[in-house]
């Protein structure tokens, strides 16, 4: 990304040329990374960028072709959430992040594939069909931002935006061997992000390197008066030179290395941590005693919020409406039965149940209390360390024909990523090695609220020292 920006500066390449080249590559994409490619919009954006680049003030993103997960609204370009229920929906507004990218001259190539409504870990439940992992097309790219992950890994865009509710940026970043950042809750506006679980959702960058992720993150972060959960504060630029790891206290929670973690993943992550130690980091043992409850808490809180957030898909104002409804009730029940896929229905049902009369206290309230304990675990851990390191996922990318069909087992893949969402913490996944099949392994770094500088800085320094992020692509 930064290299492309330098090429533009030296007039070696023009945004229009570069955009054409990406569009050409997308046309022959065999990974099904995109749901919608906006060729006309992209070329128009590239032309605007050419003008911008004539000014010495043009930012690092001017003319950079990026892709947007298709649950982020784009004015005039259909936004599907990979769901039949949003058939034909064309937003009349841009999400704040899209507006920001456009203002800075980024070229938006199109909308990437995802699990329906970002509910999944495999990018297989999309109306547009499954996305394949560019590292091994027989395998899943992870999810739910699998389209963005695959597009970045396959070089179909310079960077992409994903969304992360329980790991949906970090998991595909890990499976696809790229870098993905889930920012601090409230540091990137959610306005225009189609809500899955409002108290957990966060948009973030996915890119080939931590440095590129930092450039994208700097472009989209910041207070937005349209999002009440957006945090008003000074968001300084990230130092793209990385940080000195000397003396950095790296917390390693034993809870993240227990049962269920694949041994090859464990080894790769441990070697990654050893590199950080070698660079001057100091390893500290920390405990996150309630992290193991994260999955249970998440699938109560997230589905409760989702059951309410997805109530607006009722066939009245936009999207699918079934033909010839008998009456209003029939229209609702059949539109929603036809429009939502099985996993979305499962989660709406679960969320409706945990909020319903008689169950609220046992499930929703209890989960919200345990959420507090999980956040407190992190608070005390961060009193002893600066960042926390561990695996992003317990396994590497699995084969599409060996798909896990048990929902609960799939949910448990999120076990290491979910705690950061519950506590609103920033978390980064970057490649730290490979398994015996040559599939990338992701290392996850977590930091206190608003300390993305530590994550990206450590990531940049780590990648300046290692080559995992370059291999295999």
Q: Under rule CB under 8 A, how many of the chain's residues touch other proteins?
A: 102
Both tokens of residue 257? 């290395």
Please report whether residue 336 would count as binding other proteins according to CB under 8 A: yes
| Pair 181, 159: CB distance under 8 Å | no
Candidates 125, 126, 144, 163; catalytic one: 144
Please report whether residue 120 would count as binding other proteins according to CB under 8 A: no
Task: Kindly state the DSSP code that residue 257 receives in the 8-state scheme.
Answer: G
Q: Considering the complex, what minimum distance in angstroms separates the CB of residue 179 from other proteins? A: 23
Sequence-distant (≥ 6) Cβ neighbours of residue 162 within 8 angstroms: 69, 145, 148, 149, 168, 169, 172, 180, 203, 204, 205, 206
144 in catalytic set: yes
Q: Considering the complex, what minimum distance in angstroms separates the CB of residue 369 from other proteins? A: 4
Task: Kindly state the DSSP code that residue 363 receives in the 8-state scheme.
Answer: I
136 to 195, contacts with other proteins by CB under 8 A? 184-186, 190-195
Candidates 126, 168, 429, 461; catalytic one: 168
| Pair 304, 364: CB distance under 8 Å | yes
Of 305 and 452, which CB lies nearer to other proteins in the complex structure? 305
Residue with tokens 């290299």: 3
Q: Which stretch binds other proteins (CB under 8 A): 7-15, 31-39, 153-161, 298-306?
A: 298-306
Nearest to 118 by CA among 354, 296, 394, 303: 303
Please report whether residue 437 would count as binding other proteins according to CB under 8 A: no
39 to 68, contacts with other proteins by CB under 8 A? none
Please report whether residue 367 would count as binding other proteins according to CB under 8 A: yes
69 in catalytic set: yes
What is the C-alpha to C-alpha distance for residues 319 and 242, in angstroms, rounded to an integer? 45
Options 267, 270, 293, 453; binder of other proteins; rule CB under 8 A = 293
- Find out whether the peptide bond into 454 is cis, omega within 30 degrees of 0: no
Q: Phi-psi category of 209—alpha, beta or left, where left has phi over 0 and alpha has psi -120 to 50?
A: beta
Task: Kindly state the DSSP code that residue 364 receives in the 8-state scheme.
Answer: I
Please report whether residue 371 would count as binding other proteins according to CB under 8 A: yes
125 in catalytic set: no
199 to 228, contacts with other proteins by CB under 8 A? 199-200, 225-228
Beta strand segments in 299-425, E? 387-391
Q: Considering the complex, what minimum distance in angstroms separates the CB of residue 293 from other proteins? A: 6
Please report whether residue 259 would count as binding other proteins according to CB under 8 A: no
372 to 431, contacts with other proteins by CB under 8 A? 372-373, 375, 406-408, 411, 421-425
The residues annotated with a catalytic role in the active site are: 69, 144, 168
């Amino acid at each position: 990304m930064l290299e492309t920006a330098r090429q533009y500066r030296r007039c070696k390449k023009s945004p229009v040329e570069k955009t054409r080249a990406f569009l050409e590559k997308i046309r022959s994409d065999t990974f099904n990374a995109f749901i919608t490619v906006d060729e006309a919009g992209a070329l128009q954006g590239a032309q605007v960028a050419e003008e911008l680049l004539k000014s010495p003030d043009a930012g690092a993103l001017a003319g950079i072709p990026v892709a947007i997960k298709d649950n982020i609204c784009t004015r005039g370009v259909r936004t599907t959430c990979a769901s039949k229920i949003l058939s034909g929906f064309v937003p009349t507004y841009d999400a704040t992040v899209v507006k920001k990218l456009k203002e800075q001259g980024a070229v938006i190539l199109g909308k990437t594939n995802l699990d329906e409504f970002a509910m999944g870990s495999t990018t297989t439940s999309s109306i547009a069909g499954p996305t394949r992992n560019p590292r091994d097309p027989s395998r899943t790219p992870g999810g739910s931002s699998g389209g963005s992950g695959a597009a970045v890994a396959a070089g179909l865009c310079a960077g992409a935006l994903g969304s992360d509710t329980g790991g949906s940026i970090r998991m595909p970043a890990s499976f696809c061997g790229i870098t993905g950042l889930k920012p601090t809750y409230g540091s990137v506006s959610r306005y225009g992000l189609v809500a899955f679980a409002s108290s957990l959702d966060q948009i973030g960058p996915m890119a080939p390197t931590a440095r590129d992720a930092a450039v994208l993150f700097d472009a989209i972060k910041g207070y937005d008066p349209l999002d009440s959960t957006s945090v008003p504060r000074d968001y300084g630029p990230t130092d793209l030179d990385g940080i000195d790891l000397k003396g950095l206290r790296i917390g390693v929670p034993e809870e993240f290395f227990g049962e269920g973690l694949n041994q090859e993943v464990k080894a790769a992550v441990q070697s990654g941590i050893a590199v950080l130690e070698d660079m001057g980091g100091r390893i500290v043992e920390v405990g996150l005693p309630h992290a193991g409850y994260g999955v249970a808490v998440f699938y109560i809180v997230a589905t409760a919020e989702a059951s309410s957030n997805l109530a607006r898909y009722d066939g009245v104002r936009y999207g699918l409406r079934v033909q010839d409804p008998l009456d209003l009730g029939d229209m609702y029940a059949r539109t929603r039965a036809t429009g939502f896929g099985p996993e979305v229905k499962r989660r709406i049902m679960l969320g409706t149940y945990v909020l319903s009369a008689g169950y609220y206290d046992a499930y929703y309230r209890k989960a919200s209390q345990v959420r507090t304990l999980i956040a407190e675990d992190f608070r005390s851990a961060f009193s002893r360390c600066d960042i926390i390191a561990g695996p992003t996922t317990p396994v590497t990318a699995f084969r599409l024909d060996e798909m896990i069909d048990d929902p609960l087992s799939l949910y448990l893949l999120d076990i290491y990523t979910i705690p950061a969402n519950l506590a609103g913490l920033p978390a980064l996944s970057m490649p730290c090695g490979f398994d015996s099949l040559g599939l990338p392994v992701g290392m996850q770094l977590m930091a206190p609220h608003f300390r993305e500088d530590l994550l990206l800085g450590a990531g940049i320094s780590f990648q300046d020292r290692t080559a995992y992020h370059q291999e295999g692509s």
